[in-house]
Structure 1
Amino acid sequence: MRILIVGGGVLGTLHAWQAVRRGHDVVQIEREREARGASVRNFGLVWVSGRAPGMELETALRARRLWEEVGARTPGLGFRANGSLTVLRTEAEYAVAAAAPADREFKLLDATETRALNPALRGDFLGALWCPQDAAVEPRTAQPALRAALATSGRYTWLPGREVRALTRLGVLDDHGDRHEGDLVLLCTGARLGGLVRELAADLPVRRVRLQMAQTEPLGEPLTTSVADGDSFRYYPAYRGDALTALNREQPQNEVAAAHAMQLLMVQRRDGGLTIGDTHGYDEPFPFDVEEAPYDHLSAVAGALLGRPLPRIVRRWAGVYAQSADPSVVVHRARVADNAWLVTGPGGRGMTCAPAIAEDTAKEAGL
């Protein structure tokens, strides 16, 4: 078959990977010269630890295995099985960690064990929840690296700088007036939910979420794991239960963190800098600028865990991702025409789950 994939982000590129792997010819069309959406504005985390039990966790675990397989074939992806530490600074946070589910290889560490695993953490804390299942890739280079690997197949074509305007019986029409023929069209358009997507799916059960993040100068030493703070317990479904209820009651969030629905996530990039974040904004229209208060909060929390000031922030950005309105599904996947499927709305799980989402689409679409 000849597959047309609309969207150059991680979800579209992993769909291309699955299609080529199955022996199909693929043309991937992207409106920008290079992907500029949530796929490059994230941590690059393959985050298994916080996923809801059931389908979400199963998808994340399967994606984690697939990421490792893809990474072995694609060195430029920067895959590393670095695991994560959720650092615990209070007894209430420690209680949530102690009640964490037993189905994802968690281990509760004391402060000495935490520092032995990640010596860069020299702050004052009680311990950490270690998850060896978590991993990371390099979000700014992942898509180009994957495309370079796909190009060696001889069955892959990358067409950037073209916006698809219409779906036809034989394929799609772009804004250059060119027609691209294919047997199947997969629309992986991320948070861009207008235009053709709205025409094909007017009542799309998907909302958009805005986040702020930043990157620092090099830390000067390895951060051997990804790092989260105790506020992350409040935003991941894996930790729901009596201990979390007690945490929310006894330890209210910092005012800035609560106002911006914040947690600290921190991961080191190949150049030694740290990506830190993030906030969550749900009310549109979204601001066109970024606010400083969340960055001040993130810097303070990260510095407390590191035991020294955070390196200077050199990049700040905002991003928007699409999230399914139905929390019971990992992604919104629907057939929108005889020859087309729409796949969108993985929310903050896009980078984590993309390989498994693409695998499921391939099976459901009969590739």
Structure 2
Amino acid sequence: MLGTLHAWQAVERGHDVVQLEREPEARGASVRNFGLVWVGGRAPGVELRTALRARRLWERIGERVPALGFRANGSLTVARTEAELAVAAEAAEAAEAGTERGYRLLDAAETKKLNPALQGDFRGALWCERDAAVEPRTAQPALREELAKTGRYAWRPGREVCHLTGTGVVDDRGERHDGDLVLFCTGAWTGGLVRELAGEPPVRKVRLQMAQTEPLAEKLTTSVADGDSFRYYPAYRGEALDALEKSQPQTETARAHRMQLLLVQRLDGSLTIGDTHEYDEPFAFDVTEDPYDHLESVAGALLGHPLPRIRRRWAGVYAQTTDPGRIVHRARVAGNAWLVTGPGGRGMTCAPAIAEDTAEELDL
């Protein structure tokens, strides 16, 4: 997605673009995610400003590309205990809560009115009006189809770049692709030519587990998160979260797998659920069942009935910059080439704004 939106920015600014993809179709974190445009949990400052700008860009792109599946559905982070509700209340009272994030604290009745599919036992929820969603499995083909209409965009899948030249690149078929500028948006892949050019970039890899269910009979009118999301996202740090950590430890499974529940309904009615976070390599090649049992239990408690049957399970790996002051790692690796990677879990949310920043920095 990061590479595709860089192509979008360049074409929008009048350039011709050739996009090379190592796989026949994107198969990394760009399709193995929730499709969330997630503003609510972002850290105050540059991260929040970037997410808000990306949210506006997503909406604008979605108007041109309906197949992107953009929808301004907002999100509910549901609190099942008084300690979780206290975190939601503190967040709703923060300086930028209403004007920038669109936060509002809801009681249980208001939550169920806003999202009638939630019929479980809970205290209330934090509503974030700014959050949105797109369809991760179809977003890139939809964007590429729109780009192709310009006559200035070429898609070249199944090609790995092997050499960087002064005028472009050479792929593993021996074909040259010339251009004034080369952007490496390689996601979690930092070996091969990337290592040769950039050494060990300051990013770490994160592995997650997710799943997709059969269609839910009801419409989930918002994206949904559970109270463990307060522990994961930086926007919720404060005294109430400290109190939650002390008084309400996570379950053993949730703690061991660094879990939160995120729940997004796809356009076909199915639910994308997750996720876990693993930071220590080498990562396992298989998936573990305990986290899925936990996700099904928590999601079922919020819905008030069991989840539909899980029909797909997967793991994914993304790259995350290790510099807490940056949204992404962006660095020149040669006179005519830059590496852009490591947005972490912000990739789907912030990709349009990251691409815009690259275009501005490189004066495209």
Q: TM-score, normalised by structure 1?
A: 0.97
Equivalent residue for 1:70, pick from 45, 61, 75 = 61
Q: What is the one-letter code of the residue matched to 2:109?
A: T
What corresponds to 1:273 in structure 2? 270
Equivalent residue for 1:242, pick from 239, 242, 254 = 239
Deviations 1:80-133 (A, max 9, x none): 000000001001001101111324120000111000000000000011000010
CA distance, structure 2, for counterparts of residue 79 and residue 264 of structure 1: 22
What corresponds to 2:178 in structure 1? 181
What corresponds to 1:228 in structure 2? 225
CA distance, structure 2, for counterparts of residue 125 and residue 328 of structure 1: 36
What corresponds to 2:24 in structure 1? 33
1:195 paired to 2:192: yes
1:90 paired to 2:81: yes
**SS of residue paired to 1:145:** helix
Q: 112-121 or 196-205, which moves further after superposition?
A: 196-205
What corresponds to 2:332 in structure 1? 335
Equivalent residue for 2:309, pick from 312, 316, 322 = 312
Equivalent residue for 2:126, pick from 110, 126, 129 = 129
CA distance, structure 1, for counterparts of residue 5 and residue 103 of structure 2: 28
What corresponds to 2:319 in structure 1? 322
**SS of residue paired to 2:14:** coil
TM-superposed deviation, 1:262: 0.2
CA distance, structure 1, for counterparts of residue 102 and residue 76 of structure 2: 12
CA distance, structure 1, for counterparts of residue 121 and residue 260 of structure 2: 18
TM-superposed deviation, 1:260: 0.1
The percent of aligned pairs where both chains have the same amino acid is 78
Q: What is the one-letter code of the residue matched to 1:19?
A: A
**SS of residue paired to 2:326:** coil
TM-superposed deviation, 1:201: 0.9
CA distance, structure 2, for counterparts of residue 259 and residue 74 of structure 1: 40
Report the number of matched residues. 358
CA distance, structure 1, for counterparts of residue 244 and residue 196 of structure 2: 45
Equivalent residue for 1:350, pick from 328, 347, 350 = 347
The two structures, once aligned, show a CA RMSD in angstroms of 0.5
What corresponds to 1:58 in structure 2? 49
**SS of residue paired to 1:267:** strand
CA distance, structure 2, for counterparts of residue 12 and residue 204 of structure 1: 18
TM-superposed deviation, 1:328: 1.2
TM-superposed deviation, 1:28: 0.2
**SS of residue paired to 2:76:** strand
Q: What is the one-letter code of the residue matched to 2:258?
A: A
**SS of residue paired to 2:58:** helix
What corresponds to 2:294 in structure 1? 297
CA distance, structure 2, for counterparts of residue 92 and residue 328 of structure 1: 30
What corresponds to 2:165 in structure 1? 168
1:19 paired to 2:10: yes
Deviations 1:120-165 (A, max 9, x none): 0000001100001000000000000000000001100000000001
Q: What is the one-letter code of the residue matched to 2:4?
A: T
CA distance, structure 2, for counterparts of residue 249 and residue 338 of structure 1: 51
CA distance, structure 1, for counterparts of residue 19 and residue 139 of structure 2: 15
Deviations 1:66-92 (A, max 9, x none): 000000000110000000000010010
TM-superposed deviation, 1:194: 0.4
Unaligned residue ranges in structure 2 (runs of 5+): none
What corresponds to 1:81 in structure 2? 72
**SS of residue paired to 2:138:** helix
**SS of residue paired to 2:301:** helix
Aligned pairs (5 A) from 1:137-176: 137-176=134-173
Deviations 1:50-73 (A, max 9, x none): 000000000000000000000000
CA distance, structure 1, for counterparts of residue 189 and residue 75 of structure 2: 31
TM-superposed deviation, 1:203: 2.9
TM-superposed deviation, 1:13: 0.3
CA distance, structure 1, for counterparts of residue 123 and residue 229 of structure 2: 16
What corresponds to 1:5 in structure 2? none
Equivalent residue for 2:284, pick from 287, 297, 317 = 287
What corresponds to 1:44 in structure 2? 35
Deviations 1:302-336 (A, max 9, x none): 00000000110000000000000011110000011
Q: 17-26 or 194-203, which moves further after superposition?
A: 194-203
